[in-house]
Amino acid sequence: MSTTGERGPRVRMCRGCCCGTPRKLPDVDHDAVAAALGADLGPGAELITVDCLWACDLANVVVVNPAASARAAGARPAWVTEVNTLDRARAVADWVRRGGPGLAEPPAELGEIRTAAGLRRTTA
């Protein structure tokens, strides 16, 4: 929790069936990417690993859930795809540290940030 007691953004990182494993992306150091992402998310934020986020074609997938206040104001979870480098992982962590969805603009280097509905349209 932050010093204000508010829950910060939660970051869900796929580390199961194919994302986060050498089976799908053998040239990615998945442990280093996860460590870089979780190293400095900021106050109240947390990294949660999950088995599958069902967007395997866009591996490695990370979902940034907004902080409680941003969610109450209408912010929705943001899907970041192809988090396969230390630089992309650090860019996500920087965004979360600055507040994440609804509170801070995502770094340009992350490219398109999708919603769950937008993601379904691209993977269907």
Query: pLDDT per residue over 91-122, tens digit each?
Result: 999 999 999 999 999 999 999 999 888 776 55
- Predicted pLDDT of residue 96: 96
From the CB of residue 39, how many other CB atoms can be counted at a distance below 10 Å? 11
Q: How large is the average pLDDT for residues 4-32?
A: 84
DSSP H stretches of helix in 1-124: 30-39, 68-72, 86-97, 116-123
- Predicted pLDDT of residue 118: 75
**Cis-peptide into 84, omega within 30 deg:** no
| Distance of alpha carbon 32 from alpha carbon 35, whole angstroms | 5
